[in-house]
Structure 1
């Protein structure tokens, strides 16, 4: 599979192969290699059907087979090239590298624009970050450093966090707002500080994590989606939701961002406070999960009805994070606990209930983008696929005795 010619052909034939592999997998049980095989087959279908390189897969509506596309510079535009980079890492097939480069190079100019929101980390680390990690191309490194400097301009030293949504200052009356998703974007700042950027980027990331830990969580370690701060003296005003069910409920993807975010904060700092907190926000999530390990879009939604949508994206994010977290926990039993939960999540996501299979060319079904606006409800979404693939790649590394993180 070294030339693009192999992507051209009958999609029904490839879909049949996927179906056969899925049936074989169900008979044999969960297998990382089988799941990676499945992801490659699905990505082949998507890649062969794209009308042009600037059409970036974003989501597929429930019941449809057609991708909706992400615009360049939007917060989800990095996930598709990130998927291509992970497939290249796993296979070393230059076709995946060539395809990934084409999309990543379209995103690269956006690394030099003024940050419009917190989303620079999502956009850049998934695309340019994976590209630099796997190729060493300094153009990607330079882009990441520029994007980190731009993101840091959203930092408010009085508050101690990055401003997430500048447009919400007037729209919602939130003077300085920080969403829990922003924990993910600290990775860009940490990375830049380790790769030639200013030390202040590290300090900003640490302060943001500390301030968020202090203010954005309730006593039971569930998180508010949005923390609102005063810009005069920086005090915490209130916690609210934007995408969750209520201000006091646990929005599933938000808690998943917290689990992943504090795990990476510990990775980058070695600060035991962050490890302890990563475990606490993980434990409350795990304690409240349904038996099949896939959360409702909000943990309080099942009180409304058992028919409320599940969120495979939250499960994918959490599975990837827990695999990493399991390697930082010194206690053997606790380490095995987190890893087993991650594997259980992947097993369910890899079942016919959540595999897209022949329904469409995504990896997974049943994710929720924005329930309150009826956007991408019970849909296939690119970031669910990205973190699902990342989790599989991480598990494969662990099973082969390597570090959960790439040594590249």
Structure 2
């Protein structure tokens, strides 16, 4: 099904309206792909900020004031998580509060985002060279409170933004150290990212590197690859071009492009031997579509910029044509759902994440962001 970027944006807008009516004071986490009914969290978990990010984006359009008011109300509900001992709250507060400042000029959102960033700044561990996951990290029971993961690059997003907003050079330095350390720990020589690492809590020595959400310990989980490229790219856009970070981003992007299926939509894990008869992950693909658009604005050569833009357009075209409801003329599901997101298919996952085909709020956000860039409504550096 051929759709324009604007048509796809309008479908997602309709879904946003339906989500707002359905979730009440909860935060959408994932939705049943057949009914569109959301499973919600009460406190936002690590995904709640993406719902807010969608509201902040839509608030910029004509008639957007009701969405801005709703976003302000929802953002205020995040206050109890400002001091939570989890690195992953950075995603909640960057997309939920930082974007409120960047896109809507919200002073209350800005203040909340800065408060969360200052809390994370204090949690930086010089021995480890990074901000550890924390005792209350959403997956801390699986990998340990002082471990690290490529997902924790969301800390960099929040700290670089907050350092720029506040002029805090110490925070910028911590953000740079965290980003460099996490990338060095988790990126292989070939450009692929392994998700997690176990560190010596006293010396920071790398003891073990492994993937705990993918097919196997040494496999490349699609979302880990996306997190790595996203974190390195946005760190360059927000904190200033750092050649080491840019090299990590381009190396990771090239690996993705070389290994993703022909239609541009990734499997849930690149090393699943059942492929092509295994789950896709549209959420990871949406991550990369948005990230490749950003990377195409700062890549070190014109040929790379064209390459990344083309790959992003290919992925976005596949997502809106084959996975954004309705996908057929007889499709009676709620419109604007990005289906076939694989949250976590491993049986040792958190119960609230154990779903292998769903609409994932973070996947929907990144697609919506990519569509705004593709349509010219948003510059890559805006978020």
- Scaled by the length of structure 2, the TM-score of the pair is 0.91
Corresponding position: 1:43 with 2:16: yes
Give the whole-Å Cα distance in 2 for the aligned partners of 1:135 and 1:101: 10
- Aligned with 2:367 (options 352, 364, 388): 388
Structure-2 residue corresponding to 1:166: 135
| Counterpart position of 2:147 | 177
Matching of residues 9-408 of structure 1 within 5 Å: 26=1, 29-50=2-23, 52=24, 54-107=25-78, 109-110=79-80, 113-166=82-135, 171=141, 174=144, 176-196=146-166, 198-267=168-237, 268-301=239-272, 303-351=273-321, 353-357=322-326, 358-360=332-334, 363-373=337-347, 375-397=354-376, 403-406=379-382
Give CA-to-partner distance per residue, 1:226-252, whole Å, 9 cap, x none: 111111211111101221111111000
Q: Distance in 1 between matches of 2:175 and 2:84?
A: 16
* CA positional deviation for 1:304: 2.1
Q: How many equivalent residue pairs?
A: 371
CA positional deviation for 1:55? 2.3
CA distance in 2, matches of 1:104, 1:273: 34
Counterpart residue number, 1:3: none
Q: In structure 2, how many angstroms separate the alpha carbons of the residues matched to 1:348 and 1:160?
A: 39
Match of 2:343, SS state, is strand
Q: Which runs of 4+ in 1 moved over 4 A?
A: 167-175
Find the counterpart in structure 1 of residue 329 from structure 2.
none
CA-to-aligned-CA distance 1:99-136 (integer Å, 9 cap, x gap)? 222212222x235x423211121111111112122332
Q: Alpha-carbon deviation of 1:35? A: 1.0
Contact 1:122 1:185 in 2 (8 A): yes
Structure 1 residues 83 and 372, CA gap change in structure 2 (3 angstroms): same
Cα shift at 1:88: 1.4
Query: What is the rounded CA distance, in whole Å, between the counterparts of 2:218 and 2:244 in structure 1?
Result: 25
The answer to whether the 8 Å contact 2:150/2:183 transfers is: no
Per-residue CA deviation, residues 358-395 of structure 1 (Å, 9 max, x unaligned), is 42355200001111137121111100100000111112
Task: Provide closer, same or farther for how the CA distance between residues 56 and 172 of structure 1 changes in structure 2, counting only shifts above 3 A.
Answer: closer
- Give the Cα–Cα distance (whole angstroms) in 1 for the partners of residues 338 and 284 of structure 2: 12
CA–CA distance in structure 1, aligned partners of residues 233 and 83 of structure 2: 28
Distance in 1 (CA, whole Å) between partners of 2:140 and 2:75 is 33
SS at match of 1:377: coil
